[in-house]
Amino acid sequence: RGLDHPVEATIRGDLAMFKAVLALALGASALQNGVAPKAAKKMAADAAAAALAAGVSFAGPMSAHAITSDVRSQLSYEQIKGTGLANRCNEVQGKDSITVQSGSMMVDFCLEPKTWQVEEEVANKKGDVTKQFVNTKLMTRQTYTLDGISGKLEGGGSITFKEEDGIDYAPTTVQLPGGERVPFLFTVKELVAKGNGGAFKPGYEFGGSFKVPSYRTGLFLDPKGRGMTTGYDQAQALIASQTGVDGQAALESEINKVFDVFDGTIEFAVSNVNAADGEIGGVFVSSQASDTDLGSKTPKKVLSKGIFYGRITKE
C-alpha cells in the first residue's frame, strides 16, 4: 500500500524493541514455550543483540545506552558486526573500591570520545579576538575509539599507570563550523598517569602526559610527490624560485618535511567501580595537538571528552 505512516512505523519499531528487551530480561522461554534449552539460549542472545543494535541505530554513534562487559561477552561477532558496538567502551556498574597491589596490571583499557572541541580565534561584537574552544562535527566513521590498551599499575600511597601496549592511536578528523577540517591522531602513546591515594573508588582522579606522533609517517608523499624519507626533494619548476630571500618561508615548510612529536595531557575521573570483576569506569578530558601536515601547518589544540573503561588484574 505504499509507504507506511511515520507514526505507525515508529510504533512498530518500539514494539520490536520492547519485544527484544523482554526476551533479554525474561529469557526466550517467556516468548515461546516448549523450546529446547539450546534454542532458547540462542534466542535470548539474538534478542540481546537486537536490543543493542536497535539502541545504536536509533540513537546514533553518540548513544548514551550503556553496554556492560557481561552483555558484550554474550554476543558473537555476527551479532556485533554492523551495529557500532565494536566502537563502544564497556560501562561499569557499582560503587565499590579496588586497592592496587604490587604486580597489578590494567588491561582492556578503553577510551571512547563523545565530543571534540578545537581552539580557534573568535571575535566578539566589539571586534575583540579571543581564543575559545569551539564545538566540531565528527567526520570519521566509527573507528575513533582506543581499545585493548594495557600497562603496569604501581600502588602504595599513590597509583601510577604506564601504558605499554594495545590500540593506542586512531586517526580522526573533525570539521569546524566554518567548514575547515582538522585531522589529528587521537592517542595516549607512552601515557604515564598518576593519582593520589592507593585505591580506585568513585571520585578518584588521576592523569598525566603522553606522546602525540605525527599524523602522517615519513613515507607519505604529498600531491607533488615530495616526502620526508622518499620522493622528490622539491616540486618541479620551483627550483629557480628558491633564492633565499624573504618570502621563501612558506615554500621551505612545504619542502622540508618534518615528523613532529608533541606532548599531550589527559585527566581521568573514576565514577564507577565493580570490585567483583575488577572493573573501573569514568570520564576523561584529553588535550593534544592536531596534524601539521609534516611541518607545513601550525597545529591546533584539540580537546577530546568522553568515557573510559579498564580492568585490573594480576600479572
Q: pTM of the predicted model, to two decimals? A: 0.75
3-class DSSP state of 54: helix
Contact 182, 302 (CB under 8 A): yes
CB 104 within 8 A of CB 315: yes
267 by DSSP, 3-state: which? strand
> How many other CB atoms are found less than 10 A from the CB of residue 275?
17
CA distance 42 to 51: 14
φ, ψ for residue 175, nearest 5 deg: -120, 130
**Phi and psi dihedrals of 80, rounded to 5?**
-85, -30
Distances (CA, A) of 229 to 108, 150, 260, 271, 291: 35, 32, 14, 46, 18
Distance, in Å, from the CA atom of 118 to the CA atom of 286, rounded to the nearest integer, reads 12
Residue type for position 270: V
Say if residues 173 and 285 touch (Cβ distance below 8 Å).
Answer: no
pLDDT value of residue 174? 96
Q: Is 178 helix (H, G, I), strand (E, B) or coil?
A: coil
Residues in the chain, total: 315
Cβ atoms of 304 and 182 within 8 Å: the answer is no
Residuewise pLDDT in 10s, the chain (315 residues): 444 454 454 445 555 454 444 444 444 444 444 445 555 555 555 555 555 555 544 444 444 467 899 999 899 999 999 888 999 999 999 999 999 988 899 999 999 999 999 999 888 888 888 899 999 999 999 999 999 999 999 988 899 999 999 999 999 999 999 999 999 999 999 999 999 999 999 999 999 999 999 998 888 888 878 888 887 777 665 555 555 566 666 677 777 788 889 999 999 999 999 999 999 999 999 999 999 988 888 999 999 999 999 999 987
